[in-house]
Amino acid sequence: MSHNYVVRMQWDVKTPMRDGVDLSSDLYLPDEGGPFPCVLMRTPYSNNNEDLIRKGRRLAGQGFACVIQDVRGRWDSGGEYYPFHQEANDGFDTQEWIGRQTWSNGRIGMAGGSYLGCVQWLSAPLRNQFLTCMAPRVMCNDYFRGLFYPGGAFQLNVAMTWGMRTSAHTAQSIDFHNWTEAFHTLPVRDMIKLNGGNMPFWSDWINHPTDDEYWAGINIERRWSEITVPAFNMGGWYDLYARDSFDNFNGLRLQGGSPEARRSKLIVGPWPHWLSRCTRTGDIDFGAGSLADLETLERRWFDYWLKDDDDGFLDEPPLRLFIMGINQWRDEHEWPLARTEWQRWYLHSNGDANTLRGDGTLSPTEPDDEPADQFVYDPNFPVQTVGGNNCCSPEIVAWGPHDQRPVEMRSDVLCYTSRPFDEDTELTGPIQAVIYAATDAPDTDWTVKLVDVSPTGYAMNLCDGIIRARYRGSFSDPQLLEPGQVYEYSIDVGVTGNVFRKGHAIRIEVSSSNFPRFDRNPNTGDAFGQSIELRSASQTILHSRQYPSHVRLPVIPRQ
C-alpha cells in the first residue's frame, strides 16, 4: 500500500571513514515510523544540487531513507580527492555506517549514473552485509579499456574536460577555454598545466598507458563472482559506455556470485550519456516513444529488493532494447541475441576507396586479388570527431548521430558502402572488424566506423572503434611495428541496435584518427605522452584472398 511521508532533512551529517576522515552526507528521511530501507547516492558533483535534492525528497516521501554523500575531497567532505581508487573502502564504510543507524532497517540500495555508478560497482565486491541491490547507470568497470585507453588510444576529450571540471575541491568552470587550441597542446603529459589546470592525477593517467597494476586495482570485470547483489543497469546506444553496459549485464547474469546477482537487468535506449532526457540525440529525433521513465523503473527495482513488494518487474525479460531505424522497444533475454546470424562482410575496391565518392564497396562476397587502398595520415590535420559515443560536454564535442559526409569527403578516410537493401535489415549486437594493414611508421592508429546511409545520402554514424597498433596483440605488452609489414588488427567497433530500412546501405569508414575524442598518434613510436614531434604516415589497407579485411555483423532474422 502506498504511503506519502512527510520528509525531514539533515544537512552535512559527518560520516566517519576508517582512516578518520569525515565525509559529508545529506539525509532525507520519512518523518514517521521506520526503520526504513535506504537508497545511497555518492557523488563528486555536490550533494546539494537540485536534481539530487528532488530525488532525495521523492524517495523519502515514498518510504525510503535517502543518503546523498559528497565523495572524499569534494565539496563538504574531508580528505583528498583522487578518482576511482578511493571509492571501494569509502563506499563500504558508508554502507556500514548507514546499516547501524536507528532509521535504517539494514537494507541498502545504491543509485546514480556515471561517477555515481562507478562508486556502486567499486564497493560491491567488498560484500557489505547491508548492501542489497544497485541501480548503476552509464558506467564501465574496466577503466583502462572502457574509459581512458579504448583500443590503447587515450580518450582525450573526456579525460581532459571531465578531469579539469572535477580537479578542484568544488566545481571548476571550463567554459572559457579555447578547446580547439587546448586539445592540440603537446606534449600530452603537459596538456593540463599548459592550459591553466592543476590535476595531480593526470600524470598517473599518462604514465600508465598499458593495462598494468594501476588499472587492475579498480578492474571490477575481473571480480564478477565476488559480487552477490543484483544490478539494474541503464545505458544508451550513444553513451560513452554503450558496450560496457552490456558487459556489466553479462558479467553479473553469467558470473555473479549469488542467484540474486544473476537476476540483474538492463535497459538501453537511443540516448547519450544523460540518458532519457530528450527525444532528440544529435541530429535525430527518435520520437516520444523513445523516452523511458527510468525513475519509475528504478523505484520498482528498489520496491522489490528493499521492500519485498513484488509487482512482477523481475518476471519481465531482463533486457529491454530500443531498436533504431524502426524506433521500437523490444524485450530480449540475452546478449548477443541467441538468434543472431553472424555474417562477414568484406571490404572491396579497385584501389581508390578514398572518400565517399571512391570505389569502395562492402559485401558478403570474399575478395579476390584486389589492389590495396592507400592514404596519408598527417596528425597535424587529424580527422575530426563528428558525433558518436562522446562525453561529457556536447557543447565542446558533439555526441550522438550526425551526418558523416563532411568527414567522408576527406582523402584520408576510406569508405566501403554496400548496395542498398531490398528489404529492412536489422543489425543488433557487437560489431567487430578485422583489418589487414601496413604503415611506414613504427606505430599508428586504425579507426573503423559503422554508418547507416539513407537514400538521400545522409550518413548516420552508429558506432565506432580504434586500435593503437602497438597494442594489436596485448594491452599490457605493447610491441612497435616493422614498417611496411602487414599486420592483422582486430578492432572492437562498439554495439548497436538498428534496422537499415529498405533503400538504406551500410558504410564502413576506415581511417587513422578520430580527434579530439582520441589523442593523435604522432606516428613516432615514442613513449606515450612525451612527444612534441608529429610525422605523417603512409597507410595501406589490404583486401585480398590472403588479407580479407572484413567486419563481423550481427544480422537479426526478420520475425
- Catalytic positions: 114, 239, 273
Dist. CA 367–CA 551, nearest whole Å: 13
Sign of the dihedral defined by the CA atoms of residues 317, 322, 326, 327, in that order? positive
The two beta strands, 361-363 and 487-500, are unpaired
Question: Nearest 5 degrees, angle CA 507-CA 513-CA 517?
Answer: 100
Whether 289 and 329 have beta carbons less than 8 Å apart is answered as: yes
Q: Is 142 exposed, middle or buried (0-12, 13-18, 19+ CB in 10 A)?
A: buried
Main-chain phi, psi angles of 250, to 5 degrees = -65, -35
b/e map 545-556, b = 16+ CB within 10 Å: eebebbbbbbbb
Contacts for 515 with CB less than 8 Å, ≥ 6 apart = 156, 183, 382, 383, 384, 385
Dist. CA 36–CA 38, nearest whole Å: 6
Q: What is the 3-state secondary structure (H, E, C) of 435-486?
A: EEEEECCCCCEEEEEEEEECCCCCEEEEEEEEEEHHHCCCCCCCCCCCCCCC
**Greatest alpha-carbon span in the chain:** 78
Whether 98 and 129 have beta carbons less than 8 Å apart is answered as: no
Dist. CA 61–CA 76, nearest whole Å: 25
The two beta strands, 341-348 and 328-332, are unpaired
